[in-house]
Amino acid sequence: MQSDPTANSAAPAAASSPRPFAGWALRTALLLEGQTGVKLVEPLLGAGNQRRAAAFMALAAWHAPSERHAEIFSDLKPAEFAGWLLEEDPAEMAELLSERCHDPQTLARLGEQPLSDPADYWIPPGALLH
């Protein structure tokens, strides 16, 4: 898991207005913040759609990991995961987490709000966007 600090940063853009999110994604982000001291919610409020979508996907995998995700995260401490969530290239995050949804345009369409159920991230992307 390598970082690319220039790719669709989690830092809020000056002209970007905050976009709140709720539900399982907010609860998971707040739980990670409490465990690690790494601020996740604030940076994601102003992040671009690709960053938000990849972060929501990563939070879904952390919140309710499949066997594959549990293996990916097995040696990762919560603070390392939180840093990765904010710094990794969004397309690379999505490619690691989902074999189906890593095209940047599809990813950006998923970034407005988290899906209602974390398991929905593992459904083929065409089914999610109809």
pLDDT in tens, 7-48: 445 554 444 689 999 999 999 999 999 999 999 999 999 999
pLDDT given for residue 104 in this prediction: 73
Domain count, the chain: 1
Residue 87 domain boundaries? 23-128
Distance from chain centroid for Cα 39: 14
User: Is residue 44 one of the residues assigned to a domain?
Assistant: yes
Domain annotation covers residue 68: yes
Question: Which pLDDT score, from 0 to 100, does residue 10 have?
Answer: 56
The model's pTM is 0.80
128 — pLDDT class (breaks 50, 70, 90): low
Residue 11 inside a domain? The answer is no
The pLDDT score that the predictor gives to residue 63 is 93
Q: What pLDDT is attached to residue 40? A: 97
Cβ atoms of residues 53 and 90 within 8 Å:
yes
pLDDT digits (tens, 9 = 90+) for 69-126: 999 999 999 999 999 999 999 989 988 988 766 677 777 777 789 999 998 887 765 5
Does residue 10 sit within a domain?
no
Task: Note whether residue 6 is domain-resident.
Answer: no
- Residue 12 domain flag: no
CA dihedral 17, 22, 27, 28 (to 10 degrees): -70
- Is 4 a member of any domain? no
Does residue 1 lie within any of the structural domains?
Answer: no
Tell me what pLDDT residue 6 has: 37
Q: Record the tokens describing residue 58, joined without a space.
A: 């990563």
